[in-house]
Amino acid sequence: MRIAVYCPHYEDAGGVREVVRHLNAGMAARGHALTVVTRAPGGPPGALPPTDPASGAAIVRVRLVRAPYPALGARAYRRFLHRFPGAALRLVRAARRAEPEMIAPYVLALRLAVRAPIVVHLHNGPETADGPESPRLQRLLQRCAARVIAVSPAVADYARAVLPRRAERVVTVPNGTEAEEFVDAPPARRPRPYVLGVGGLAPRKGFDLLIDALAAAGTDLDLVLAGDGPERVALAARAAAHGLSARVHFEGHVERTVLASLVRGAAVVAIPSRFEGFSLVSREAMQAGAPIVASALPVFPPELRDGETGLLVPVGDAAALARALRTLATDPERARALGAAARTAAHGFPTWDEVTARVLAEYAALVG
Average pLDDT rounded to a whole number, residues 289-313? 95
Q: Considering only 99-103, 270-274, 317-321, 325-329, which range has the smallest mean pLDDT?
A: 99-103
Residue 71, CB half-sphere, CA atoms under 13 Å: how many? 5
Average pLDDT rounded to a whole number, residues 33-49? 74
Rounded to whole angstroms, how far apart are CA atoms 262 and 270?
A: 12
Sorted by where each starts, the structural domains of the chain and their CATH numbers stand as 2-176+350-367 (3.40.50.2000), 179-348 (3.40.50.2000)
Rounded to whole angstroms, how far apart are CA atoms 310 and 318?
A: 17
**Residues 158-176: pLDDT tens digits?**
999 999 999 999 999 999 9
Least Cα distance to 216 among 322, 320, 312, 314 occurs for: 322
Handedness of CA 232, 235, 239, 241 (dihedral sign): positive
Q: Considering only 6-10, 250-254, 278-282, which range has the smallest mean pLDDT?
A: 6-10
**Residues 278-290: pLDDT tens digits?**
889 999 999 999 9
The C-alpha angle 345, 125, 235, rounded to 5 degrees, equals: 80
Average pLDDT rounded to a whole number, residues 205-216? 97
Q: What's the pLDDT score for residue 125?
A: 72
How would residue 362 be classed by pLDDT, with cut points 50, 70 and 90? Answer: very high
Q: What's the pLDDT score for residue 104?
A: 45
Res. 110: pLDDT tops 80: no
- Paired with 161 in beta bridges are none
Pick 78 or 141 by higher pLDDT: 141
How would residue 296 be classed by pLDDT, with cut points 50, 70 and 90? Answer: very high
Name the phi and psi angles at 57, rounded to 5: -70, 145
The C-alpha angle 73, 76, 79, rounded to 5 degrees, equals: 150
